[in-house]
Amino acid sequence: MTSYEEAETEETVTCLHMTFYHPCQEDKMMFRCLNFCKREQLRVDETAKFGRDSSICRYNLIDSRVSRIQFSLQFYRKLNSSEFCFEIKNMSKKTKLIVDRTELGYLNKTDLPWKCIICFGDYQILTEMQEGESMDYFETYLRLAQMPFLQERCLPSLQPVPETGIFPSLFLSQDESPKEMDENESY
């Protein structure tokens, strides 16, 4: 038998891929303390904290508008399951945290979907979870985006839907402009 045949089976590690974007990232360099394109391993009992206080937060954002601790991520295993998850908690008293379309106030928490966008202020973070088996460690892998993921700062497009379910503006030619209609008029 060779040594690789006798070796322990290597356990895969759950990895949370996070891609960061801010419209002023090149001018203000708020991400300069983050280690991009490098996997970082954390013990499962560690909470990954993001914010401006480098003595408390593992992931430091250099921006006076970011809270000392903006948000935290906790790795856990679901009850009666082998499935691993992350829980995200808003730690900012001043800024709401938006996870996809769920708004979290101070100390509110929710499960992080396997793929989602986290927003606060002008920050956008795309997260994607890569599943693993390890019950001792998880990893993070950070990247920097050049383009925003969302155009209007995570606000959902709240375009009214007419009772007919048809958006008349989608069918207008370039010469036509929308006309105001009485609610009793039909198209």
Per-residue tokens: 38: 């490098």
Per-residue tokens: 155: 């606000």
Summarised one tens digit per residue, pLDDT across range 28-59 is 999 999 999 999 999 999 999 999 999 999 99
- How are the residues of the chain apportioned to helix, strand and coil, as percentages rounded to the nearest 5? 5, 35, 60
Q: What is the pTM of this model?
A: 0.75
Phi, psi of 28 (to 5 degrees): -95, -15
58-67, 93-102, 178-187: which has the minimum mean pLDDT?
A: 178-187
Q: Which CATH code for domain 11-153?
A: 2.60.200.20
The structural domains of the chain, with segments of one domain joined by +, span 11-153
